Amino acid sequence: MIKTFTGPMHSGKSSSMLREYFKIWNKEHIICFKPKIDDRDLGIIKSKDYKEGINAICINNFEEILPYINESIKNIFIDEVQFIKGNVNILSYLSLIYDINIYVAGLNMTSDLKGFLCMPEILSISDEIEIIKASCYDCGKEASYTYYEGKKDNDIKVGDKNYFPLCANCYRKRIGNEKLKKYFSNLFEIEK
């Protein structure tokens, strides 16, 4: 079983995933991972509801999970899964062959509406997907989009500085219609 918690920045994806962690009484059968590239709270999964955090092994690739697997591992938790590289099918393998329950939390979209690195693949292999909404920074409605304030030199930035969640209306207002249309310019090229 693979269950994915996804949504925009500050929606509480990690908190929702950790709720499942705390439901499991015998923690001996759990192993937790997070990406090495994310150097906030190295080796600890934290969230706004669980400030004390839980220990996690830092990895770069899904393949690095395999040496930790043994008969006693029944549950795997991976935070910020969007930053982990390698073959996502390792998760399907562990779920199907080892009958491990896998819970992952990750950002679905970049601030310019592209699938975030491995997330489209993660979503496609998930048994269950929970899309967590945030609260719009501008109007308080449910927010599905992550807005980035400032200049970005590339698509992928680690950390949550200058990112905040917005609803569709406020996202459009902040970006402006003209700039937003540019995000879809490749579609219009196809039409021509």
Residue-wise DSSP of 83-107: G-BS-THHHHHHHHHS--EEEEEEE
Instruction: State the number of binding residues for Zn ion (CB under 5 A).
Output: 6
Within residues 98-137, the interface with Zn ion by CB under 5 A covers 136
CA 99 to CA 18: how far, in whole Å?
A: 20
- Catalytic option among 20, 63, 64, 80: 80
Active site (annotated) includes residue 80: yes
- Determine the interface stretch with Zn ion among 43-51, 61-69, 120-128, 168-176 (rule: CB under 5 A): 168-176
- Candidate ranges 20-28, 48-56, 105-113, 139-147; the one touching Zn ion (CB under 5 A): 139-147
Six-digit token pair at 19?
């709720």
Of the candidates 18, 76, 170, 175, which one interacts with Zn ion according to CB under 5 A? 170
**How many residues belong to the chain?**
192
Q: What's the chain's Rg over C-alpha atoms?
A: 18
How far, in Å, CA of 17 to CA of 4, rounded?
Answer: 8
Cβ-in-10-Å burial (0-12, 13-18, 19+) of 39 comes to exposed
Taking CB under 5 A as the binding criterion, the range among 49-57, 79-87, 167-175, 183-191 that sits at the site for Zn ion is 167-175
Candidate list 138, 148, 172, 173; residue touching Zn ion; CB under 5 A:
138
Please give the positions annotated as active site: 80
Residues that bind Zn ion (CB under 5 A): 136, 138-139, 141, 167, 170
